[in-house]
Structure 1
Amino acid sequence: MIVFLIKSTICKAVFLALYHFLLEKEKIHVFNRFYLLFSLLFSLAVPFISIPLYTEAPAETKLLQPAIEKLPVVAALPVEKADYLALVFWVIYGFVASLLAIRLINNIYKLYKKAASGTKITYGSAKLVLLEGKTLPHTFLGYIFLSKEDHENRCIEQELYIHELTHVSQKHTYDLLVLELLKVAYWFNPLLYLYKKAIQLNHEFLADEAVTSSDKDVVKYQQLLLCKSTPHLNLRLASSINYSITKKRFIMMTKTTTKAKSAIVKMASVQVIAGLAALFCIESIAKEKPALVPSVKQEQQSGKVTRDKYFKGVRIIAYKRGTTTKTKVIGENIILSKLYEELTDAEIERYKWLLYVPEPYVKKSPSLKEIEEFLNSKKYAIWIDGKNVNNNELLKLTPNEIAYFSGSIILKNARTEKHPQPYQYWFWTHKAFDDAKMGVQKQHYGSDTIEFFQTMRNDYSRP
């Protein structure tokens, strides 16, 4: 969640900065409308987009840990205190989001109720809703709300009809509805409020352009806007004639943008979108280069030499039955007790699932996508350098700072009610990896005895 918010917020900030410092100043209103809506939706989607970029890498040997050298123990996770701070946050978030959702529904209901209460007249692609009393022209979806008295007395200028009809025909209300829905979910993000202001002003640019293109008397239209300027209507979803009667709108009415300049700024915005997509979406994946496969005879001979040296002097003790603890094997009825050198070829073949030499660990780092997955504390228990930590501690490390990571499944009978994670993962920084000599080939088995019983093969054998 945190990674999503960081990526999304960075994208919104970059897109808004580009708009305010470059695009908003140019008379390319249709493109700007598309840019604002697309960049907003893209910034919400970009954390979920992954574009794989495959690079060739040497094949790595699958790392296997000896089954008996150190019996694998599924550790019980320490009891964690309830995260009341997170609970308080979600309660506050849900409360505010609920209030905003109720307000949005109420505003929509009021506008539909107003539309139902007035006299309706078809006007082009819209319906005029004539209301009692004085009201400034404003639109919502396919409705244009007007004063009945002013309409019947022909006191409403033609420019105002064109202005409001543009809001209807270009479906500006849908843009605002999208913004309001996003504000319900992301009310804590101030950039959404800046987006709404930019989109509303863009709507006015579009409507002003429609008026000035049909009536070339720009000064007359500007005077009309000043005459109609009144305090804003308290209708968050409506487009009103006097929204932001500012210097920006007046300057834009007389401004021209050449085709060359228009092409340059449009290309710049496309480059920014492509750059952010490359930064946050492209994930480098190492594709293994096929390794040379040795012959079976060579592999056996190589393994024989290594194994003889590794297990030299180690006593192999097999029991018919037994149990295990965290530190040792408790067995009954010894069926084999020999030094490794005394084993026959048949016995070595029989116990080859046990008698293999672990290879040194090869450093590997997780991808950003994998780290995001490991942040899920309901699914993963996390250790960093041997210490059990909160999953969010991974955010303090970059992928390059992690030298190695591995994990295992926690069997159901080993999980607890408070810690039901099905997986546990260990992460090592470069210092811990090097201090533990994890990348160094072990020359000898770590104990002078290997004890096991027959059924252990079902639990610890490896492919």
Structure 2
Amino acid sequence: MEELYIYLIKSSGLIALFYVAYYFMLRKETFFTSNRWFLLLGLFTSVVLPLLVYTKRIIVESSSKNIDWSKFPVTTSVENEAFEINWYLISGIVYTIGIVLFLVKFAFDFYSLNTVLKGKSIQQQADFKFIDTTENVAPFSFFNTIVYNSSLYSSSELQNILEHEKVHSEQNHTIDVLISRLFCILFWFNPFIWWYKKAILQNLEFIADNEATKKIFDKKAYQITLLKITTHENCVAITNHFYQSLIKKRIVMLNKNQSKKSNSWKYALVLPLLVVFVFLFQIKTIAQEKTNPNVSKSVLDVVTTINKNFSDEELKKKAEFFKKEFNCDLVFSEIERNSSNEITGIAVNYNGNLYGNGTYKQHSSNAIKDIYIKHEGGKINITDAEIDAKIKNNKITVSSDKTLSIDKEIFINGEKVSQNDMDKLDPNEIERMDVNKKNNQQEIRIVTKKFHKTITENDIYINGEKADKNELLQLDQNTIDKMDVNKKEKIIHIITKNRTYIQDKNMPLPPVPPTPPVMKFKAPVAPAFPKAPKVPKGDPVNGDKKAWKEFEKKMEDYDAKMKKLEPQMEAFDKQMAEFDKQMEPFNKEMEAFDEKMKIFDKQMEEYQSNLDKENK
């Protein structure tokens, strides 16, 4: 969300920059067509340039620390934190409401236009569609459709009007109008975009006036027509109106001498301002610790940060960096994001010959805290901002025997234990350690490698619903009422004392679906067929003989290409046969599973029927 706001602010600033440049340097010049492209380019530059970021690295002095945190992959989750106003959320809601309201207004304008055009008689002339309406509306054009009321003007006045609107249509000015409206919807909060839109529309009128007067003999009569049109101000909002900007400005521009070509240098003045913008806002500086040439890469100290706004591509680059620099595999998984595309959950697995392996996790209803991945003294340490601060303040210490000294509730494999039990545990047997904060109470949950292997190899059902290993690890063993382990089918069924999904022990358990087979090869892909030639109109005898002759040649080429594909099609058919063969056992298991499901459905009907009888 924060990244979106920064982007909108940067884009709004660039829109203001281009408008100010146009207003003070180009507004009074007669380079109308050049001004049109300058204004459009300004809009697109405003939305694209903030997305381009240059990364600059600076070398700083190394400051290594000797805290060994690598043996304990830590998960930090925070729940029920103190309430505070989320201004980002409130701003996002206001911004979204504004967009919705302006979109509704935009849709209403289209509806108004459709009301004017619907059911009218259209006269086609060359590339233009003319509609002579009886309604009291100012003349306008929408793409190649020109609407006017001929009864309100003389023949010479009407000719002036149509020449003007033809310019709008020929040069596709409607596209400029729609683009300016779209930017007004996206940046409705920025006052400069509304002035920008007005500048675009006025410049389009200058272009149409300038081009129309080149085809009209009496320039003075054209100006009188402009004045007469001011009495008809009933305009359709999303069209090019004959009367749209101040008539005085248009008449001034019509009589103004052409600007000198040497004044074109003014367009280049915006470039230095854009360069300044890039240097100030689009260069991201990253501090990199100074390397010691006498120390190998395996022991260099490097700290990198993962924050809530990281994209999947940025995470991938971090993993590639650690692989390249330290030959350490970083794998980011279990990534969860909120509606603002902020990361709310993530798991970081690391593995390397020199570093051992481990897992760090952070999950919360809010965005994650900054994660520090540190390569310190030849070891990988991963912490979040909160735990890192506690380490620095000596609130959490790691002793030489690698035990964690902190006053918390401790669980090993889901069972609550004492500090002494934790101290007796061999650190090499630890698969994962989670540090959780819940309702101002903190707890440590440790999973041993042996227990982790057991839960990984089995399917887990808690109160009749399939659960993942994380749900099992978070389950307090003191709440377990019954546990059944089916070693043959590798299934663990757990029923808790406060079960909510299973009301009694008579409720039938659903069958477990079969596991799809692991294919030895990828699913076959059919070869790409050539495109068949299009059949000409008519028939070969009475139709276009030349076209039919070309069609016959194309068909010969098509048949030749299809013949070349026959070996590929035979290979594809063999692959499909092999694929079907490998799928046969699974299909049979699915048939057996369907039969078990039918039995389960009957058992559930009987179970529900018995419950209904008991309730009566």
Q: TM-score range by the shorter chain?
A: 0.5 to 0.7
Match of 1:12 in 2: 15
Question: Whole-Å Cα distance in 1 between the matches of residues 109 and 147 of structure 2?
Answer: 15
Match of 1:178 in 2: 179
Match of 1:324 in 2: none
Judged with a 3 Å threshold, the aligned counterparts in structure 2 of structure 1 residues 230 and 287 are, in CA distance, closer, same or farther, namely: farther
Match of 2:161 in 1: 160
Question: Whole-Å Cα distance in 2 between the matches of residues 45 and 450 of structure 1?
Answer: 51
2:74–2:360 CA contact under 8 A, matched in 1: no
1:378–1:420 CA contact under 8 A, matched in 2: yes
Question: Whole-Å Cα distance in 2 between the matches of residues 64 and 115 of structure 1?
Answer: 77
2:361 maps to 1:411: yes
Judged with a 3 Å threshold, the aligned counterparts in structure 2 of structure 1 residues 95 and 234 are, in CA distance, closer, same or farther, namely: farther
1:309-458 pair list within 5 angstroms: 378-379=342-343, 411=361, 415-416=363-364, 418-419=365-366, 421=368, 424=371, 455-457=426-428
Question: Whole-Å Cα distance in 2 between the matches of residues 453 and 237 of structure 1?
Answer: 76
Bigger relative contact order (CA 8 A; separation at least 6): 1
Judged with a 3 Å threshold, the aligned counterparts in structure 2 of structure 1 residues 103 and 364 are, in CA distance, closer, same or farther, namely: closer
2:344–2:368 CA contact under 8 A, matched in 1: yes
Judged with a 3 Å threshold, the aligned counterparts in structure 2 of structure 1 residues 116 and 422 are, in CA distance, closer, same or farther, namely: same
Write out per-residue CA displacement over residues 214-270 of structure 1, whole angstroms, 9 at most, x where no aligned residue.
3475444323211222253342111111212343322222232111112x1122234
* TM-superposed deviation, 1:32: 1.2
Match of 1:21 in 2: 24
Question: Whole-Å Cα distance in 2 between the matches of residues 149 and 104 of structure 1?
Answer: 30
Question: Whole-Å Cα distance in 2 between the matches of residues 448 and 143 of structure 1?
Answer: 83
* TM-superposed deviation, 1:197: 0.5
Match of 1:307 in 2: none
1:252-263 pair list within 5 angstroms: 252-253=253-254, 254-262=256-264
Match of 2:134 in 1: 132
Match of 2:149 in 1: 147
1:86-101 pair list within 5 angstroms: 89-101=91-103
Unaligned runs of 5+ in 2: 315-337, 346-357, 373-383, 404-422, 433-616
Match of 1:306 in 2: none
Question: Whole-Å Cα distance in 2 between the matches of residues 18 and 238 of structure 1?
Answer: 26
| AA partner of residue 17 (structure 1) | V
1:197-208 pair list within 5 angstroms: 197-208=198-209
| AA partner of residue 23 (structure 1) | L
| Equivalent residue for 1:41, pick from 41, 44, 51 | 44
2:344–2:367 CA contact under 8 A, matched in 1: no
Match of 2:245 in 1: 244
| AA partner of residue 428 (structure 2) | R
RMSD over aligned Cα atoms: 4.5
* TM-superposed deviation, 1:115: 2.2
| AA partner of residue 26 (structure 1) | E
| AA partner of residue 206 (structure 2) | F
| AA partner of residue 41 (structure 1) | F
* TM-superposed deviation, 1:287: 7.3
Match of 1:194 in 2: 195
Judged with a 3 Å threshold, the aligned counterparts in structure 2 of structure 1 residues 96 and 10 are, in CA distance, closer, same or farther, namely: closer
The more displaced of 63-72 and 204-213 is 63-72
Judged with a 3 Å threshold, the aligned counterparts in structure 2 of structure 1 residues 448 and 269 are, in CA distance, closer, same or farther, namely: closer
* TM-superposed deviation, 1:23: 1.2
Question: Whole-Å Cα distance in 2 between the matches of residues 196 and 82 of structure 1?
Answer: 39
| AA partner of residue 202 (structure 2) | L
* TM-superposed deviation, 1:176: 1.5
Match of 1:340 in 2: none
Write out per-residue CA displacement over residues 185-205 of structure 1, whole angstroms, 9 at most, x where no aligned residue.
332222221111011001111
2:136–2:234 CA contact under 8 A, matched in 1: no
| AA partner of residue 213 (structure 1) | K
| AA partner of residue 259 (structure 1) | K
| AA partner of residue 12 (structure 1) | I
Judged with a 3 Å threshold, the aligned counterparts in structure 2 of structure 1 residues 155 and 72 are, in CA distance, closer, same or farther, namely: closer
1:196-235 pair list within 5 angstroms: 196-215=197-216, 217-230=218-231, 232-235=233-236
Match of 1:3 in 2: 6
Write out per-residue CA displacement over residues 327-366 of structure 1, whole angstroms, 9 at most, x where no aligned residue.
xxxxxxxxxxxxxxxxxxxxxxxxxxxxxxxx9x899999
| AA partner of residue 165 (structure 1) | K
Question: Whole-Å Cα distance in 1 between the matches of residues 72 and 285 of structure 2?
Answer: 35
Write out per-residue CA displacement over residues 21-75 of structure 1, whole angstroms, 9 at most, x where no aligned residue.
01111111112111111212221233222234x5563796876632399996847
SS in 1 for 2:27: helix
Match of 2:548 in 1: none
| AA partner of residue 10 (structure 1) | G
2:137–2:149 CA contact under 8 A, matched in 1: yes
Match of 2:601 in 1: none
2:14 maps to 1:50: no
Question: Whole-Å Cα distance in 1 between the matches of residues 398 and 89 of structure 2?
Answer: 47
Question: Whole-Å Cα distance in 2 between the matches of residues 109 and 222 of structure 1?
Answer: 32
Write out per-residue CA displacement over residues 104-129 of structure 1, whole angstroms, 9 at most, x where no aligned residue.
22321332342232221223432111
Match of 2:498 in 1: none
SS in 1 for 2:237: coil
User: Share of identical aligned residues, percent?
Assistant: 22
Question: Whole-Å Cα distance in 2 between the matches of residues 294 and 94 of structure 1?
Answer: 54
Judged with a 3 Å threshold, the aligned counterparts in structure 2 of structure 1 residues 206 and 62 are, in CA distance, closer, same or farther, namely: farther
Q: How many residues align?
A: 355
Judged with a 3 Å threshold, the aligned counterparts in structure 2 of structure 1 residues 447 and 459 are, in CA distance, closer, same or farther, namely: closer
1:11–1:43 CA contact under 8 A, matched in 2: yes
SS in 2 for 1:214: coil
Q: What TM-score do you get using the length of structure 1 for normalisation? A: 0.62
Match of 1:391 in 2: none
Unaligned runs of 5+ in 1: 304-358, 382-407, 439-444
